[in-house]
Structure 1
Amino acid sequence: MPKTIYLVAGARPNFMKIAPIVRALNAHPTLTYKIIHTGQHYDPEMNAIFFEELGIPQPDFFMGVGGGSHAQQTARIMVAFEEYCQKTIPDAVLVVGDVNSTLACSIVAKKLQIPVAHVEAGLRSGDMRMPEEINRLVTDSISDWFFVTEPSGMHHLQHEGKPDDAIFNVGHVMVDNLLYQAEKLSRMDTRNLATTAYKKTQAEAGKRYGVVTLHRPSNVDDADTFTKISHALKTIAQELPLIFPVHPRTRQNLEKFAIDLGADITLTGPQSYMSFLHLWKDAAVVLTDSGGLQEETTALGVPCITIRENTERPITVDEGSNRLAGTDPATIIHETLDILRSPQAACRRPELWDGKAAERIVAILGRVLENLSDHGEKTTPERINPSKS
């Protein structure tokens, strides 16, 4: 009898992570799925074209919970998801990443005795000021199966006492999606993409360019910190033109704190996935506080400066193209100019970041769900070698 998995997504990046899993599930003989969109982040661009671009169908259930405080948002998601699960109980719930939807749906599933699979499990920044770190820790404390993107995740979960036979190093679904979309981008007509005009202007002027993204509260909600980071960006822009697709909250704070980034930094609105990929894949450097971009730039070998004091993705620094610069303006400027002026050390795409992580995840889920007893009790699955799944 087919097993049904609920795939939970709450924000735009979550859909990019479940898209490869959906494609892999479509090819599996005994697994079916439903896509659950909590509506944690409302995005008017999430229309039919967006899902078509990702190669996935429209969500089966849209909660539309919207914003609010962390507690309000989490509570609304929990109530809505519980009601949905009680109508049709799935065989498993799969959550991705570290947003409030990840936490909320994991708690609901466990209290209903539904097994939970966590994709991107085991990542740790060590910074309890980050809401994402709390979400990661709580989700991993109650999950049944842990799908890990890098060795540090394995080590954290083992240190926290998780059973070895429940931890699987499978690679990274975000990289699966990146490679899928990059291949599509290579075949499409990019003339109508929103970022093409900027790239053309820089190319005609014989100039390289850099890309900036900032959205973390610790960087953009504090006037002093945001002002210092902005000073670094303005200094860098005197040598390298920068383009900055601005997150809505970040734009509000630019205005609130009266921060002027100057004429050498081009501000745009948020970009679609393909338009943004088209932009940053050819950048001389990306400056960001995004965890996902640390990984995606590593996957394509694009130099990245991470404007944070810590990272839950250390493999991007150890093996990839990422440099952890913190928020000190002098360090941000130094690291960026060093990239621009010096030959770059060789970096490599981490092991298993090969575009097949979703296939491994689905193969493992098929196996472990088959091993569930009629009472829903998990038995020890036959261990799968991810590199051969």
Structure 2
Amino acid sequence: MKILVCIGTRPEAIKMAPICYELHKKNIPYKLCVTAQHRELLDQVIDFFQLKVDYDLDLMRKNQNLNFLSSKILFQMDAILDSEIFDLVIVHGDTTTSSMVALAAFHRQIKVMHIEAGLRTYNKHAPFPEEINRQLTGRLSDYHMAPTFSASKNLLEEGVKEKDILITGNSVIDALKFTRNKLAKGYSNPSIENLKNLLDLNSDIILVTGHRRENIGQGYINVCNAILELSKNDLQIVFPVHYNPNVRQVVFDKLKGIANIHLIEPLDYPSFVWLMKKAKVIISDSGGIQEEAPTFNIPVLVTREVTERLEGVLSGHSFLVGTNTSKIIDKTLELLSSTKFDTKVNPYGSGKAAELIVNFIKDYFK
């Protein structure tokens, strides 16, 4: 049995690292390929989890469009699949990497396993292009590792056979617990130490992130207007600003120079987990944060009109506010005034996803 694990972005690397660990633990040989459609952010995670990269396509280029990126992934993956014989290709989630690698494997008639399968909004423009990437990857895949019951239900309704679906929980919880344990044992780095010096940890902290394409333009203007209004209160706002120039220009134009708004560079993964634990409220359009924050019982205001992660909304961990300035302000102030935000267990899993996935692989190929 020979396995190829493929990742392209920071979130993929975070969520695939526990699976790589588990494959190694169970002595199942695999090769790791990174397309590096995100370069700097991806490399940080690779280094933190000490993953060994066998193939690095190094495809990140400034301002490249999706068609150009897709064609490069498809072309270069074909060369890798031509150089070695693989029994299984594992991809993750909703990126251009996942859909194009799955397509390349399908063309070679190699089995495909989709991690974090079955999430849907059924709105092809939100999230864009991730919703269609997920659906395309799902159609190309042979085995579907669904993080939740509702994701499994989506797949069944789309005609996937029950025997090819496994409900695993989300492997981001595995990664989060690994990182939390390292932090508890004293792990630190220069970025964490800088945050300790920057922030007054005795005050309320709001953590803000944003990177979704569909919010570029008026959406981020509205979010920044909400942050400006919230900054008039006695609190601190920390905003690691995404590298996308269309995000950075709006954020720095609107929020630069305000004493209690800290605009910082994107954080490495352990530093972000450290900061997330300190926050009282998170405002974000990130899917991963919707999955991670419930572990620490931190509420998330989701600055999207729809989410493929409804479990968090239904359990009371997340709140869909879109990019409506008034909704963001009102809900944030409501949550800040609460003496305690206490909800049930994380609906996205208990941290056993990697073990379940690798056991499935082991049993199938046995």
TM-score range for the pair, normalised by the shorter chain length: over 0.9
Structure 1 residues 338 and 231, CA gap change in structure 2 (3 angstroms): same
Structure 1 residues 255 and 357, CA gap change in structure 2 (3 angstroms): closer
Residue 243 (str. 1) matches residue 241 (str. 2): no
Alignment deviations for residues 216-266 of structure 1 (CA, whole Å, 9 cap, x no partner): 1122x21x2222111101111222210111001156642599433551211
- Code of the residue aligned with 1:167 in structure 2: it is I
Q: Distance between the aligned counterparts of 1:60 and 1:367, measured in 2?
A: 25
Q: Give how far 1:349 is off.
A: 2.6
Q: 1:226 aligns with which of 217, 220, 223?
A: 220
- Asked whether the equivalents of residues 121 and 146 of structure 1 are also in contact (C-alpha less than 8 Å), the reply is yes
Worse-matched range after superposition: 71-80 or 38-47: 38-47
Residue 36 (str. 1) matches residue 33 (str. 2): yes
Structure 1 residues 351 and 243, CA gap change in structure 2 (3 angstroms): closer
SS at structure 2 position matched to 1:259: helix
Alignment deviations for residues 113-137 of structure 1 (CA, whole Å, 9 cap, x no partner): 1000000000012321110001001
Structure 1 residues 149 and 256, CA gap change in structure 2 (3 angstroms): closer
- Code of the residue aligned with 1:88 in structure 2: it is E
Worse-matched range after superposition: 264-273 or 320-329: 320-329
Structure 1 residues 38 and 347, CA gap change in structure 2 (3 angstroms): same
- Code of the residue aligned with 2:160 in structure 1: it is K
Structure 1 residues 281 and 134, CA gap change in structure 2 (3 angstroms): same
Q: Distance between the aligned counterparts of 2:326 and 2:257, measured in 1?
A: 19
- Asked whether the equivalents of residues 238 and 261 of structure 2 are also in contact (C-alpha less than 8 Å), the reply is yes
1:142-157 alignment to 2 at 5 Å? 142-157=140-155
Give the aligned partner of residue 92 of structure 1: 88
Residue 56 (str. 1) matches residue 51 (str. 2): yes
SS at structure 2 position matched to 1:77: helix
SS at structure 1 position matched to 2:282: strand
SS at structure 1 position matched to 2:31: strand
Residue 77 (str. 1) matches residue 73 (str. 2): yes
Structure 1 residues 196 and 287, CA gap change in structure 2 (3 angstroms): farther
Residue 112 (str. 1) matches residue 99 (str. 2): no
Q: 1:323 aligns with which of 306, 319, 323?
A: 319
- Asked whether the equivalents of residues 202 and 208 of structure 1 are also in contact (C-alpha less than 8 Å), the reply is no
Alignment deviations for residues 349-387 of structure 1 (CA, whole Å, 9 cap, x no partner): 3467221110100000112223xxxxxxxxxxxxxxxxx
SS at structure 2 position matched to 1:281: helix
- Asked whether the equivalents of residues 170 and 352 of structure 1 are also in contact (C-alpha less than 8 Å), the reply is no
Q: Distance between the aligned counterparts of 2:252 and 2:135, measured in 1?
A: 33
Moved over 3 A (4+): 195-204, 250-253, 255-258, 343-346
Q: Distance between the aligned counterparts of 2:245 and 2:239, measured in 1?
A: 11
SS at structure 1 position matched to 2:254: coil
Structure 1 residues 260 and 354, CA gap change in structure 2 (3 angstroms): closer
Q: 1:26 aligns with which of 17, 24, 27?
A: 24
Worse-matched range after superposition: 124-133 or 252-261: 252-261
Q: Distance between the aligned counterparts of 1:266 and 1:251, measured in 2?
A: 19
- Code of the residue aligned with 1:266 in structure 2: it is H
Residue 180 (str. 1) matches residue 178 (str. 2): yes
Structure 1 residues 139 and 210, CA gap change in structure 2 (3 angstroms): same
Give the aligned partner of residue 382 of structure 1: none
Structure 1 residues 198 and 18, CA gap change in structure 2 (3 angstroms): closer
TM-score (norm 1): 0.87
Q: Give how far 1:53 is off.
A: 2.2
SS at structure 2 position matched to 1:243: strand
1:189-228 alignment to 2 at 5 Å? 189-190=187-188, 192-200=189-197, 202-203=199-200, 206-219=202-215, 221-222=216-217, 224-228=218-222
Give the aligned partner of residue 341 of structure 1: 337
Give the aligned partner of residue 128 of structure 1: 124
- Aligned-pair identity in percent equals 30
Q: 1:159 aligns with which of 146, 157, 160?
A: 157
Structure 1 residues 282 and 103, CA gap change in structure 2 (3 angstroms): same
Q: Distance between the aligned counterparts of 1:226 and 1:8, measured in 2?
A: 32
Structure 1 residues 252 and 300, CA gap change in structure 2 (3 angstroms): closer
- Asked whether the equivalents of residues 120 and 149 of structure 1 are also in contact (C-alpha less than 8 Å), the reply is yes
Give the aligned partner of residue 260 of structure 1: 255
Q: Distance between the aligned counterparts of 2:291 and 2:339, measured in 1?
A: 21
Aligned length: 360
Q: Distance between the aligned counterparts of 2:302 and 2:41, measured in 1?
A: 28
Give the aligned partner of residue 300 of structure 1: 296
- Code of the residue aligned with 1:330 in structure 2: it is S
Q: Distance between the aligned counterparts of 1:45 and 1:36, measured in 2?
A: 12
- Asked whether the equivalents of residues 99 and 132 of structure 1 are also in contact (C-alpha less than 8 Å), the reply is yes
- Asked whether the equivalents of residues 180 and 355 of structure 1 are also in contact (C-alpha less than 8 Å), the reply is no
Q: Distance between the aligned counterparts of 1:202 and 1:167, measured in 2?
A: 45
Give the aligned partner of residue 7 of structure 1: 5
Structure 1 residues 344 and 207, CA gap change in structure 2 (3 angstroms): closer
Q: Give how far 1:27 is off.
A: 1.7
Structure 1 residues 189 and 157, CA gap change in structure 2 (3 angstroms): closer
SS at structure 1 position matched to 2:244: helix
- Asked whether the equivalents of residues 41 and 268 of structure 2 are also in contact (C-alpha less than 8 Å), the reply is no
SS at structure 1 position matched to 2:32: strand
Give the aligned partner of residue 275 of structure 2: 279
